[in-house]
Amino acid sequence: MTSIFVTGASGFVGHTVCERVLNLGMKVRGSYRSTSSQSRVPEGVEKIHIPSVDGATDWSSALPGVNVIVHTAARVHVLRDSAADPLTEFRRVNVAGTLTLARQAVDAGVRRFIFVSSIGVNGAETFEVPFTAEDKAAPHLPYAISKYEAELGLRQLAQETGLEVVIIRPPLVFGPAAPGNFNKLLVFVYRGIPLPLGAIHNRRSLVALNNLVDLIVTCLNHPAAANQTFLVSDGDDLSTTELLRRTAAALGRPARLIPVPVLVFRAVARLLGRANFAQQLCGSLQVDISKTRNLLGWTPPVSVDDTLKQTARHFLANRDS
């Protein structure tokens, strides 16, 4: 029986990976960081307390008998980072922590290492042509730089040891209980707050949580996945304006979107020190998943609209809790 170890098993992606793998009848071991997060690890998972992830982490209690590791634990990008040197902190967790786990995995006889990276490794924005998995890397922020450096280290380790490495670069992941900016947009739309986002004609790829997890599960044992990099999306690229309108429809609310010209919106954002955030809302970021489809025979199983409806139901059921 395949035995899986999922890092970050209490997190948004890791939790759902654990649930899916359990439902497939596999043995699952999962790590959590704090006592408060332990309860978010699904029942049926063998729980391993790993209080911190860095170059000194001892993973020995988690690795015996494991065939595949799914590494979702990471220091994630935040809009307002309080660290004095964000890149150093990202490297401590996302590079040193990842490679320490991978080296110990080799020693423990683990066969495959699935690394959840970021589309930010490809770059910040696309112009007419979508990103592909073979593009030259152009990470733009400390978080993406750290993910790329971890990828390089994993590939080197794979060449030296025979560990099968699978790298998956998702764009924005959304779904019920999604953290970060997507949840903030849900709140704004639900409350009917007017947003100056009614005239944005960009194209952005997203990935539903269930689609990302489906790809991860596909890569657990697929022979063609070994030592490959995959991009993932829902295959339905939307403008920011269209996403907000679909979100409002799922919530049963009117979309109160003011058609502020993009140049004006970007200029105001720069004055407020939010140029990066404006770029995420106004710029295009499309990914080409043809390699993922063709090499793995994979198709996104759920649609954007179905995921938005599921997300809206969850939000409405929990908005007062």
Where are the chain's structural domains? Answer: 3-178+208-233
Give pLDDT tens digits for 159-196. 999 999 999 999 999 999 888 788 888 999 999 999 99
- CB 93, CB 7: distance < 8 Å: no
Query: Token digits for 145?
Result: 């730089």
Q: Per-residue pLDDT averaged across 269-289, rounded?
A: 93
User: What integer best gives the mean pLDDT of the chain?
Assistant: 94
pLDDT at position 79: 47
Nearest-angstrom CA–CA distance, 244 and 190: 11
Q: Could you tell me the maximum CA-CA distance found in the chain, to the nearest angstrom?
A: 58
Pairing of strands 27-32, 164-169: unpaired
Q: Does 81 have pLDDT greater than 80?
A: no
Nearest-angstrom CA–CA distance, 278 and 259: 15
Query: Token digits for 234?
Result: 């829902």
Give pLDDT tens digits for 230-278. 999 999 999 999 999 999 999 999 999 999 999 999 999 999 998 888 9
Residues in the chain: 321
Is 148 tagged catalytic? no
Q: Does 92 have pLDDT greater than 80?
A: yes
DSSP alpha helices (H): ranges in 199-257?
A: 209-218, 240-251
* 3-178+208-233 to CATH, choices 2.60.40.10, 3.20.20.70, 3.40.50.720, 3.10.450.50: 3.40.50.720
Query: Token digits for 69?
Result: 């590791």
- CB 175, CB 208: distance < 8 Å: yes
- CB 18, CB 45: distance < 8 Å: yes
Phi/psi of residue 248, nearest 5 degrees: -60, -40
Give pLDDT tens digits for 99-137. 999 999 999 999 999 999 999 999 999 999 999 999 999
Give pLDDT tens digits for 32-64. 999 888 999 999 999 999 999 999 999 999 999
